[in-house]
Structure 1
Amino acid sequence: MSRRLIKVAVKALQVYAADQLGAAKTKKIKRIMRELRICAALKHPNILPVYGYTYGFGPYIAIVSPWAENGNLSDYLQLEGAALTLVRRFQILRDIISGLQYLHANSVVHGDFTGPNVLIHGDGTACVADFGLSLMYSEVISASQASWTSTLKGNMRWMAPELLVERDDGSQVRPSEQSDMCSFGGIMLQVLTNKAPYYHLTNDAAIILCIAKSQTPSRSRYPELPERYWQFIEKCWSTDPQDRPSTEEADMTIRNEYYSLSRSG
């Protein structure tokens, strides 16, 4: 029997906490494993497959996925952004929203939808990665410890403002399809301009303060962006989550623009 070697990425989930020991930890880890099996069953060209999980990385479980030759979206735009045509940018956005639409159609909320969590394969296909991980983390670490993991990982630039809100009972608002769409607005801005949201701010606390106050990125910092694109991005950033577009609406908008640009180009 012939064997074919493939390159994979292995990501350890650092989910154990000091207060999660014994039977309680075992029970919650079983829930994580169940979620991982659900993720492994999802198949779409624009989501990064989960091959499975493994051990051997200290006390942690690790996810095994395909290796993406061109790295993540943020790095890709930094390296290739100056040479990308508008058609190519909308091709990337088409891939991304297609992947997110598939997740939402299967009742999966991404929860940490950012530039670094979109990967680019060697053939240029964009795929959504690390979907549902923030919700898995919340199963084994309290919300106050995890902060939905985004703040800890420095990915707050794309975060929806409602995720920073604390409920009356002290719990945090859970990520939703609407918060994913708010994050998509930031990704769309990044793809079209090569500039991440709040690119001019390097201090994490300053970024969090802007988001907490619902101060979206300033239009004046992206003068090259056509107004019709900016208006759609602003809709994704609507303060009321219910006013944000669905993945279906976003997919239609992105595809129409992509096909229009392809024909005219």
Structure 2
Amino acid sequence: MKGAFGSITKARLTTSEGSCMVAVKHLRPCGTAAADWKRMTLRLRREITVWQRLDHENVIPLLGTIEDEQPCIGMVSPWMEAGNLSAFVSRLSPTLVHRLQLPCDVAAGLRYREHFLGSKLRNAYLSPLPVHSKGVIHGDVTGANVLIGDDGVGRLVDFGLSIIKAEFEGTSFITSTRGGALRYRALELVPSIDADVQIDERITQLNTMCDIYSLGSVVLEILSSHIPYFSISDDILVTLALSRRILPERPPSDFLTDPYWALINRCWELEASSRPSADQVYTSLSDLRDARLLQ
């Protein structure tokens, strides 16, 4: 099957300890010149080094890599039979408890990301890291990149792959965006409609605060079962809304209460530096969850 950034193959991994189903992901060439693939492989290895060291219940683990007839390294991770968050919330209508816990799961994954660099990587990895000074950049926090395990826990996947994809297609981060992922993108990644700036100049603005904006959009989807800009069916018109700095509207939902809506809008602050950290969002979501369940 095809994912946002490449092909995904379901396979069985057999070891001395037993066997399990896994997902093998290869980045899709998309016309990239053969001469660039060696450089891309080296770049991907650095990203893989970061992913392999991420060890948290809300981050999909990287079990290993495989090199076969494909032009790029295959990344092996556990197969999540329940699928991604977007499909989960639209198909199964989660309970109140589950809807309130899933936002905490996603925020916990990003929260761990923030603390991970300082505690484990800063002095341990000598080559240039594909991370922001405040932590590892995910770059593509969407409902499709949160997978649901059999235990119902939400886990982040695909750290940094969107950034690599943009680099090696010779495009900006935003122009390399595929499908509905555009709806989760931070406003600052799209040039303002009145800005005299080349789109390719915007890639340098990708940082951890962009992930926080996207986190707010994922929380919106979990609580409402609506994607951002749900009333706009055409992605081109979504791009226009982003360029005009128009935030997603509030969808109708009994789960999306005023306190949650206020927190989401804090994640969407137009001034990126005014957005809360993943740690702060996690704390707020946990408090809101506990208060709601006590009612």
- TM more than 0.5: yes
Structure 1 counterpart of 2:106, which letter?
I
Tell me if 1:143 matches 2:132: no
Tell me if 1:5 matches 2:19: yes
Which residue, out of 253, 258, 262, partners 2:289?
258
Tell me if 1:187 matches 2:197: no
- The alpha carbon displacement at 1:167 in A equals 5.3
CA contact (8 A) 2:260 2:288 kept: no
Aligned CA distance change for structure 1 residues 202 and 16 (closer, same or farther; 3 Å)? closer
Structure 1 counterpart of 2:95, which letter?
L
Tell me if 1:157 matches 2:214: no
In the aligned structure 2, how far is the partner of 1:206 from the partner of 1:169?
17
- The alpha carbon displacement at 1:203 in A equals 0.9
Kindly provide the CA deviation profile for residues 172-226 of structure 1, in whole angstroms up to 9, marking residues without a partner as x.
Answer: 234211111111111111111111111222211011111121111123x336432
In the aligned structure 2, how far is the partner of 1:67 from the partner of 1:2?
19
1:89 is aligned to 99
Which residue, out of 211, 236, 240, partners 2:271?
240
CA contact (8 A) 2:24 2:77 kept: yes
- The alpha carbon displacement at 1:162 in A equals 1.1
- The alpha carbon displacement at 1:170 in A equals 4.3
CA contact (8 A) 2:61 2:77 kept: yes
Which residue, out of 81, 92, 95, partners 1:80?
92
SS in 2 for 1:5: strand
Tell me if 1:127 matches 2:155: yes
CA contact (8 A) 1:28 1:140 kept: yes
Aligned CA distance change for structure 1 residues 245 and 195 (closer, same or farther; 3 Å)? same
Structure 1 counterpart of 2:62, which letter?
V
SS in 2 for 1:130: coil
SS in 2 for 1:110: coil
1:69 is aligned to 81
Structure 1 counterpart of 2:26, which letter?
A
In the aligned structure 2, how far is the partner of 1:126 from the partner of 1:14?
26
CA contact (8 A) 2:259 2:288 kept: no
Structure 1 counterpart of 2:188, which letter?
E
CA contact (8 A) 1:135 1:148 kept: no
- The alpha carbon displacement at 1:66 in A equals 0.5
- The alpha carbon displacement at 1:161 in A equals 1.1
- The alpha carbon displacement at 1:16 in A equals 6.1
Which residue, out of 202, 206, 216, partners 2:237?
206
- The alpha carbon displacement at 1:171 in A equals 2.1
Kindly provide the CA deviation profile for residues 97-147 of structure 1, in whole angstroms up to 9, marking residues without a partner as x.
Answer: 000111122321110110000010001111011111112223423234x64
Q: Which sections of structure 1, spanning at least 5 residues, go unmatched?
A: none
Higher helix share: 1
SS in 2 for 1:172: helix
**TM-score normalised by structure 1 residue count:** 0.88
2:207 is aligned to 176
In the aligned structure 2, how far is the partner of 1:215 from the partner of 1:139?
28
Aligned residue pairs total 257
1:51 is aligned to 63
